[in-house]
């Protein structure tokens, strides 16, 4: 099948399919005309790539793990235990990122709470603090 057919079958854009090929995740056959020719099992591979991307993994990690995965394209299962250390590293990376996001949310919550205690002002009052040619400053408060 051609790239447009694979795109329609999987719901993944042609651009993304080309990117997956650049990253070594897909290896379509090349016809003498230069066209890509995909096999039916490539659709399952694309679905597996999407599952791993949704799990927060990058394409470099997916390239390492994909050969160790087994599945029907709707669910993936590990096919070799050697991938466990990489999966654990990725989980730690995601946990650290989630902690950073929670900390940013907490800082934003503190700003919202402090702002809510201020006297209501007209939106135009806030515009004066950021008039053209003047950068906003915390020293203004």
State pLDDT tens for residues 93-112: 999 999 999 999 999 999 99
- Asked whether residue 139 carries a pLDDT value surpassing 60, the answer given is no
Which residue's entry shows tokens 């906003």? 136
Cα separation, 3 vs 38, whole angstroms: 7
Domains defined along the chain, listed by start: 3-119 (1.10.1660.10)
Q: What does pTM read for this prediction? A: 0.66
Beta bridge partners of 77: 70
């Amino acid at each position: 099948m051609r790239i447009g057919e694979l795109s329609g079958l999987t719901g993944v854009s042609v651009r993304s399919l080309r990117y997956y090929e650049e990253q070594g995740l897909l290896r379509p056959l090349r016809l003498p005309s230069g066209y890509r020719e995909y096999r039916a099992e490539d659709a399952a591979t694309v679905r597996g790539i999407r599952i791993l991307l949704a799990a927060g993994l990058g394409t470099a990690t997916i390239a390492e793990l994909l050969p160790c995965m087994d599945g029907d394209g709707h669910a993936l299962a590990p096919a070799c235990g050697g991938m466990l250390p990489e999966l654990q590293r990725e989980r730690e990376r995601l946990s650290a990122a989630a902690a950073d996001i929670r900390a940013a949310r907490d800082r934003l919550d503190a700003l919202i709470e402090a702002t809510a205690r201020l006297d209501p002002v007209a939106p135009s009052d806030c515009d004066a603090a950021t008039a053209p040619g003047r950068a906003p400053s915390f020293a203004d408060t």
